[in-house]
Chain A
Amino acid sequence: MKYTVMINEGPYQHQSSDTALQFVRAALEKGHEIFRVFFYHDGVNNGTRLSVPPADDRLLQKEWSELGLEHGLDLVICIAAAQRRGLMDESEAKRQGLDADNIIEGFRISGLGQLIEGGIQSDRTIVFGD
């Protein structure tokens, strides 16, 4: 089955990123296709490369990044939500005249249309959030 996954909450603050990560891993193991993972609301914070949790804790952003790169996942951060919360890739930072970018490898920033398209193209759309 082809899935689009939406994640609406930030890492650590909320369980949804962990649960979605486990869901995506399990779906891939079972041979399902993940069409897209779309990060919205505070969920965009799953795409920062500047998180430094205590050494004995998981680093969720890195886990997403590695899973994405390993399986060629399309990890999309909503641009409107990202701009509100200070998540930038290099080109967007340049366009906004900002002096830094912070997106982790394996993610890309794009519009909300990507979520709607995911819903249209996938057999199931699953929302992880509050």
Chain B
Amino acid sequence: MATKKFMFVNRKAPYGTVYALESLEVVLISAAFDQDVSLAFIDDGVYQITKGQDTTTIGQKNFSKAYKALGDYDISKLYVEKESLAERGLTQDDLMDLVWEDEDDDWAEKSSIIIVSREEMAAIMAEQEVTLSF
């Protein structure tokens, strides 16, 4: 089957609506199709990968740990928009340490998080063949 550039655009906070959780379900399925997959986190979507999420008082499943498994599925390009972080008073230090292992570099652990400007994000999006936004 052909390989295409798939991008999953995450725009919403992890809780409050089901978009983030169901987006992650699509992302994990896509891994089985051997495509060139990347994720974008913009607007409130940046909250999806923040550290220290605790859902005990809202009675919902904390699915944030699932993002840590993305590297094991060869999903290693997580583009995070710099302006969206800054507008929310966040920096990369507030994000989970999401990594992948590079088999071409003796399985060295590398960060999956790529901070890009809004302008760079637009250019990356323009290169995609299939863009699904959530």
Contacts and interface: CB of A to CB of B under 8 A. Distances in A.
Nearest to A122: B130
A125 B130 contact: yes
A129 B32 CA distance: 25
Nearest to B130: A119
Given A41-B19, A125-B132, A127-B132, A120 B25 contact: no
Nearest to A123: B129
Contact of B132 (A84, A111, A117, A119): A119
Looking at chain B's contact residues, is the secondary structure mostly helix, strand, loop, or mixed?
mixed
Given A6-B132, A129-B133, A116 B22 contact: no
A42 to B, nearest CB: 8
B18 A120 contact: no
Contacts, number: 47
Interface string B111-134: 000000000000000000111111
Interface residues of B, number: 20
A115 B131 CA distance: 12
Contact of A113 (B2, B29, B131): B29
B29 A112 contact: yes
Interface string A103-130: 0000000011101110110000101010
A32 to B, nearest CB: 17
Interface of B: 1-2, 4, 6, 18-19, 22, 25-26, 29-30, 32-33, 35, 129-134
Nearest 7 A-B pairs (CB), nearest first? A119-B130, A112-B29, A125-B130, A116-B33, A116-B30, A112-B26, A127-B133
